[in-house]
């Protein structure tokens, strides 16, 4: 099954962008996932192809129109389309590795990239858009956020990573940050590789890595550590 990504955007030229290189690019060439962009402006009906208007109740900026967006969404994802409809939004559910895995296990996603001050609430409700945030900050639009999310998803698709096991000990897998990594040279600026990693004792190495992952998570991400403690 090919993972199908459809991006609704005012700037289709931003895609595939970085997703056309490295693992993601090779995977797209191999047919493991596909990308389609939909220009939202094509679904505007006014003379000047307006996609936004002033906010009801007053205020700064502009708001993307519900009628234009609804036509674009209906074109990209008719009712029978099983893919989730996502809206990249700073007020959305924080994207985490669990949601990334869920998306990677599905048929793909229809992703709406907002601009200006946001999207008319009626199209969010009327088209059952799931709002997703990639962090507690504001971007100029949803496109960079969509690229981040797709990068996280694509690398988990079957056959994309050269060694599927390489993702099992990464940050957020198992609820912990990743342990420190080392490679040659054995001594760098008077800092050696920890001896346990050179011991060849796989049980000791596993214990060391787990301990370091727990230490880093406890120090740097107390929110994750609390969740990890409660789940173990």
Find out whether 83 and 4 touch, Cβ atoms under 8 Å: yes
Two tokens, residue 113: 């990239």
Residue 170 has pLDDT above 60, yes or no: yes
CATH of domain 169-231: 1.10.1270.20
Give yes or no on whether 3-154 and 169-231 have one common fold.
Answer: no
Residue 56 has pLDDT above 70, yes or no: yes
State what percent of residues in the chain have pLDDT above 90: 93
What's the mean pLDDT in 146-164?
92
Rounded to whole angstroms, what are the CA distances from 189 to 153, 186, 192? 37, 10, 8
Q: How far apart are CA 158 and CA 32, in angstroms?
A: 8
Q: How far apart are CA 129 and CA 112, in angstroms?
A: 9
pLDDT value for 49: 95
Residues 72-118: pLDDT tens digits? 999 999 999 999 999 999 999 999 999 999 999 999 999 999 999 99
Residue 174 has pLDDT above 90, yes or no: no
Per-residue pLDDT band at 71 (split at 50, 70, 90) = very high
Per-residue pLDDT band at 162 (split at 50, 70, 90) = confident
Find out whether 33 and 91 touch, Cβ atoms under 8 Å: no
Work out the number of other CB atoms within 10 angstroms of the CB of residue 182.
14
Q: What is the pTM of this model?
A: 0.92
Q: Where are the domains of the chain?
A: 3-154, 169-231
Tokens 């199908």 sit on residue: 4
CATH architecture of 3-154: 3-Layer(aba) Sandwich (3.40)
Q: Mean pLDDT score of the chain, rounded to an integer?
A: 95
Find out whether 15 and 85 touch, Cβ atoms under 8 Å: no
Q: How far apart are CA 71 and CA 78, in angstroms?
A: 10
Q: How far apart are CA 151 and CA 167, in angstroms?
A: 14
């Amino acid at each position: 099954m090919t993972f199908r990504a459809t991006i609704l955007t005012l700037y289709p030229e931003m895609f595939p962008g970085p997703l056309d290189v490295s693992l993601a690019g090779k995977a797209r060439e191999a047919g493991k996932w596909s990308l389609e962009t939909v220009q939202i402006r094509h679904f505007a009906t006014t003379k000047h192809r307006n996609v936004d208007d002033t906010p009801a109740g007053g205020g700064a900026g502009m708001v993307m129109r519900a009628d234009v967006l609804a036509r674009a969404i209906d074109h990209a994802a008719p009712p029978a389309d099983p893919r989730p409809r996502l809206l990249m939004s700073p007020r959305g559910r924080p994207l985490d590795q669990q949601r990334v895995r869920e998306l990677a296990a599905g048929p793909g996603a229809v992703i709406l990239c907002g601009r200006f001050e946001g999207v008319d609430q009626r199209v969010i409700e009327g088209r059952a858009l799931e709002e997703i945030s990639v962090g507690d900050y504001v971007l100029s639009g949803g496109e960079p956020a969509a690229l981040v999310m797709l990068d996280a998803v694509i690398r988990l698709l079957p056959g994309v990573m050269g060694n599927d096991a390489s993702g099992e000990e990464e940050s957020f897998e198992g609820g912990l940050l990743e342990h420190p990594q080392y490679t040659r040279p054995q001594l760098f600026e008077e800092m050696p590789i920890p001896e346990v990693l050179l011991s060849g004792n796989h049980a000791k190495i596993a214990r060391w890595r787990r301990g370091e992952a727990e230490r880093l998570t406890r120090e740097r991400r107390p929110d994750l550590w609390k969740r990890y403690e409660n789940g173990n």
